[in-house]
Structure 1
Amino acid sequence: MRDLAPRLLEWQAAGARCALASVVAVRGSAPQRTGAALCVHEDGTALGSVSGGCVEGAVYDLAREVLDSGQARCVSFGYADDDAFAVGVMCGGEIDVLVQAVDHGTARVLAAAHLAAAARRPVVVARVLPGADAGAGSVAVWQDGHLGSTGDSALDIAVLADARRLLDRDGTTVRTYEADASRRYEAGADRSHDAGAPNGSRAPRVLFESWAPPPRLLVFGANAHAAAVSRIGALLGYHVTVCDARAPFTTPERFPDADEVVVDWPHRYLAATRTDHRTVVCVMTHDAKFDVPVLTEALGRPLAYVGALGSRRVQARRREDLAAAGVSPDALARLHAPLGLDLGASTPEETAVSFAAELVAVRSGRTARPLSLLNGPIQPAGAADRPGAAGARCAAGTDPVRGRTTAALRAH
């Protein structure tokens, strides 16, 4: 939903009615993760995707129905193994999709979240799923404030507390809230690993979407390889910075895909820059006076990935220089140099693909071997354990569509 929010808000501001469909739970293999969204304008225009195509038509039709009725729906789609043309997730898993009309209150919440995210402030959007005894509102939550309400003041207290605990996480989760005798709600139970709310339960369930700032990709060196890496880094969703001390080569025109282009000595810039465990550093300079100081700084930080371009001869000399500069053997072992996978890359663009492939493999903890040679699950190890990767099923009284077709929910 985060990527679609600007356009959705444009539609709403223009007075158009629109519906928002969001994946709130995934069980097993599915083409999209939780949080994937599809927006449908009253004129029939659609943006985004919830399934990569296999149930897109059914969700689109459901969104049009919700626009007419104004009633939110939560629908489950499973593998349609008894009818090749039935609505189903062809990957073999199950997804739950929440579809709701975007009213003025929801638009205000999304606008507040969008502004916070644009300012690189962590924000959480919480929406009450249909079928509960509590309200059906939404709220945007940031560290020192919030906007909106769940529609239940007692539930608000628990949801605001849980949302602030999720501010440093990027992902989606569903939590279920039970009230005590005084109708005070305790912290929600994360339903990522169970079969969902008990049959007939009216306990409120809340969808949390954490919009953490995009992870950073710091590219040091202003050359053709850096331009290709910045381009693919932006495609992967990173906030890209290109930095080099040589002003004539370090211009926005040469790096149109970068969010920032900085003229500074790489090690000095990195020393003054805030990083975290998601930050990626790529050194493309081939020059010891640039790359040894910046790699020394980078390898002293708990970063997600530190890589350097260069031949094996350059890498051998570089490692000697880094050891002489005081970098420990354990820190040197974290250096991906030469960066990238063995794809036979030669051009800057191919090298960028090689780097991106290694980055995804490192991030997912996978082997980077061809899937055709493996028998294990295709999804990354631990994908089901990520926040929201597998959530509670739609509550009783909603629309289960597991392995069978219905007249109202048939793919086109």
Structure 2
Amino acid sequence: MLVVIRGAGDIATGVALRLHRAGMRVVMCDLPTPTSIRRTVCFSEAIRLGETRVEGVRGVLCADAATARAVARAGDVAVLADPDASCVAELAPDALVDAILAKRNLGTRRGMAPVVVGVGPGFTAPVDCDAAVETMRGHYLGRVYYQGSPLPNTAVPGLIGGYAGERVMRAPADGVFEPCVEIGATVRAGDVCARVAGEPMCATIDGVVRGLLQAGVRVTAGMKSGDVDPRCHPEYIETSSDKALAVGGGVLEAILALSGGAAGDRGEKNDAPALGDTFSDQGFVSALRDELAAGRRVALASLLATRGSMPRHEGARLAVLEDGRVLGTVGGGNVERVAESRARALLAGEKNVQLPDASAAQTDRNPHAPGTAQLPDASAAQTDRNPHAPALEWLTRDANDMACGGDALLAVRALTPDDLPTLEALLGALGSRGAATLEELWADPSAPELRVATDARLAPRASWDEASATYREPVLASATCHVFGAGHVGSALVPLAASIGYEVAVYDDRPEAADPARLPSATSVSCGSFADLAAEARIGAHDAVVVLTHGHAADETVLLAVLAREAQPAYVGCIGSRRKAALARARLEAAGIPAERVASVHLPIGEDILAVTPQEIAVSIAAQLIRCRAGRRTQGEGTRS
């Protein structure tokens, strides 16, 4: 579920944290020069700094709506300098939240999204919003009104530590704000905290500076410009307030109640696909990064090698989080049971277990354990293992009652803050649509290491090297499926392609077909002539091109433009009958397209499953995309997912 929030101040940020932690994707909009006071807990700081973190969640400044969608999908909070929320037209969110807290409605209208929520005074449900949330401290804070309005603004700040209006610092004059202290500084009544046009702005009580405008903001006399917290708890400076989270809880309630269920239940508008379970999945890596950044523990179970028949192979991961949640899968069955059990045991004892001495571990090593050419007896490997220490063991078909008939090398280890640079490097590569080689080193089984390889050559495939006890895996951003034609088959294919790991770019020459509201799973939707769209599309070597336009001539226009490129995509397919296929191939060759390129086109497109309806044809195309992608993986081409 995609939610756009107007405003990115401290209350809006509390809302964003609640929604983000509930699994929703969040895009926030604020002024080009934000006027947030509590900047250490405001995602608006991303506009000034490029990115910021609040309680372990990263906010990233985005240049446009398309980038914001991608950032939100990757698991971060996207921030736009877009005070009018013009991005709503392109993003077509599931919900719009106005959390500007201007004490009046600045242009939000009911109907701008399927669910519209107003925060604070100035909104009346169901007149200009579907629900309004109370922001007044006291008995009604966070309450949701489906009919009526929040309490009117009293202009008196809420009571904190026995102080109300006294804790707020206001600009002494019109001019440019120049802070003299930092947020978090301890001050006494009378201390100068900032100057405006040479006039001092002083603290009126003792305490810790909880908020302060950024330097250079133009202010007017009497404008709220700072906040002193008399409770003197420095840790409060870095965490969202009780008020912000209470309001966020109200917004979350309203969205779930009005959208008919939990995030993602409304399949036709689901913008938050389930997390993947490999390090090529941005959402999965972001989730691990966020847990570690917030100081929470994570245990990671990974398949580093497999032999024989297995439901999942090298690179599949399962993470157990400190709160008990499980992300990812290593294939189900006994492998999954053992992996999750090992991870939970490691997490339970991680803080107080003395890890074995590395040299002793090497000396007493099972001669059949990983690092030699033979498969060990899993029962022997499990006899003396410390359930709270990192573990690397072969799970064999016989010892572990694995009906699939294969064997798996299972690695279980705790992720630590030392792994954050590696996760950040992976996210950097994925976010820039680049690639990296991930290495997992188990030569010292008591201290396994996760790192990004420094050599420039990308690993061709996931592989385990017995001699060095090193696992290498290519990490690549999701490929894009370029769908030319958004008719019945195209619109049915878009959510299927997104569900199997593709970013989906859709192109059509009909404005009514190229409507983002029809295609919520698409990463981008473009309208124009097919000749221009095909010529301008950024098609990579690992991408797929699916041609489903409304006419033979347009199909051939797209095919000609794609096949004439110097660098060819990994997959090209076009809809049509066998007779059309023969005619199209002849015309493409006559136009100068090499015969081998023409022959590589899947025409007619799709697996032969006797598909008839648009939905069935879309399934056949998705199946063919999966089969071709899997074939390239086994050939070691480092294929993107």
Q: TM-score, normalised by structure 2?
A: 0.46
Paired residue type of 2:454: L
- Structure 2 distance, partners of 1:274, 1:217, is 11
Q: In the superposition, relative to structure 1, how do residues 128 and 327 fare at CA in structure 2: closer, same or farther (>3 Å)?
A: closer
- Structure 2 distance, partners of 1:39, 1:286, is 45
Which of 591, 595, 601 in structure 2 is aligned with 1:335?
A: 601
Which of 298, 316, 319 in structure 2 is aligned with 1:36?
A: 316
- Structure 2 distance, partners of 1:23, 1:266, is 44
Say if 1:117 and 1:213, in contact at 8 Å, map to a contact too: yes
Paired residue type of 1:41: L
Provide the residue aligned with 1:72 in structure 2: 390
Q: Which moved more, 1:260-269 or 1:30-39?
A: 260-269
Provide the residue aligned with 2:454 in structure 1: 160
Superposition RMSD in Å: 2.8
Which of 138, 141, 144 in structure 1 is aligned with 2:450?
A: 138
Say if 1:73 and 1:130, in contact at 8 Å, map to a contact too: no
Match status 1:21 vs 2:333:
no
- Structure 1 distance, partners of 2:616, 2:315, is 31
Paired residue type of 2:343: A
- Structure 1 distance, partners of 2:570, 2:637, is 19
Paired residue type of 1:137: E
Paired residue type of 2:561: E
Which of 449, 462, 467 in structure 2 is aligned with 1:172?
A: 462
- Structure 2 distance, partners of 1:243, 1:123, is 30
- Structure 2 distance, partners of 1:335, 1:51, is 33
Quote how far apart the aligned CAs of 1:76 are.
0.9
Provide the residue aligned with 1:12 in structure 2: 292
Quote how far apart the aligned CAs of 1:136 are.
4.0
Which of 393, 403, 420 in structure 2 is aligned with 1:107?
A: 420
Q: In the superposition, relative to structure 1, how do residues 288 and 61 fare at CA in structure 2: closer, same or farther (>3 Å)?
A: closer
Q: In the superposition, relative to structure 1, how do residues 58 and 120 fare at CA in structure 2: closer, same or farther (>3 Å)?
A: same
Q: In the superposition, relative to structure 1, how do residues 130 and 48 fare at CA in structure 2: closer, same or farther (>3 Å)?
A: farther
Match status 1:307 vs 2:573:
yes
Quote how far apart the aligned CAs of 1:17 are.
1.5
Say if 2:391 and 2:445, in contact at 8 Å, map to a contact too: no
- Structure 2 distance, partners of 1:52, 1:308, is 36
Quote how far apart the aligned CAs of 1:312 are.
4.2
Say if 1:30 and 1:89, in contact at 8 Å, map to a contact too: no
Quote how far apart the aligned CAs of 1:101 are.
0.7
Say if 1:286 and 1:309, in contact at 8 Å, map to a contact too: no
Quote how far apart the aligned CAs of 1:317 are.
4.5
Say if 1:244 and 1:266, in contact at 8 Å, map to a contact too: yes
Provide the residue aligned with 1:377 in structure 2: none
Which of 565, 583, 588 in structure 2 is aligned with 1:322?
A: 588
Which of 86, 90, 96 in structure 1 is aligned with 2:403?
A: 90
- Structure 2 distance, partners of 1:14, 1:364, is 36
Quote how far apart the aligned CAs of 1:34 are.
0.6
- Structure 1 distance, partners of 2:623, 2:295, is 43
Say if 2:443 and 2:470, in contact at 8 Å, map to a contact too: no
Provide the residue aligned with 1:287 in structure 2: 551
- Structure 1 distance, partners of 2:323, 2:551, is 57
- Structure 1 distance, partners of 2:618, 2:583, is 23
Say if 1:62 and 1:99, in contact at 8 Å, map to a contact too: yes
Paired residue type of 1:93: G
- Structure 2 distance, partners of 1:126, 1:261, is 37
Which of 353, 362, 369 in structure 1 is aligned with 2:619?
A: 353
Say if 2:487 and 2:550, in contact at 8 Å, map to a contact too: no
Match status 1:297 vs 2:561:
yes
- Structure 2 distance, partners of 1:91, 1:233, is 28
- Structure 2 distance, partners of 1:126, 1:341, is 36
Number of equivalent positions: 318
- Structure 2 distance, partners of 1:235, 1:258, is 11
Q: In the superposition, relative to structure 1, how do residues 121 and 303 fare at CA in structure 2: closer, same or farther (>3 Å)?
A: closer
- Structure 1 distance, partners of 2:428, 2:422, is 10
Which of 322, 327, 337 in structure 2 is aligned with 1:57?
A: 337
Quote how far apart the aligned CAs of 1:320 are.
4.8
Quote how far apart the aligned CAs of 1:387 are.
8.4
- Structure 1 distance, partners of 2:285, 2:401, is 27
Q: Which runs of 5+ in 2 are unaligned?
A: 1-277, 354-387
Which of 450, 471, 481 in structure 2 is aligned with 1:207?
A: 471
- Structure 2 SS opposite 1:261: strand
Q: In the superposition, relative to structure 1, how do residues 322 and 37 fare at CA in structure 2: closer, same or farther (>3 Å)?
A: same
Provide the residue aligned with 1:125 in structure 2: 438
Identity across the alignment (%): 33
Q: In the superposition, relative to structure 1, how do residues 132 and 12 fare at CA in structure 2: closer, same or farther (>3 Å)?
A: closer
Quote how far apart the aligned CAs of 1:215 are.
2.0
- Structure 1 SS opposite 2:306: strand
- Structure 1 distance, partners of 2:637, 2:594, is 34
Paired residue type of 2:439: A
- Structure 2 distance, partners of 1:117, 1:327, is 33
- Structure 2 distance, partners of 1:331, 1:234, is 26
Say if 1:284 and 1:309, in contact at 8 Å, map to a contact too: yes
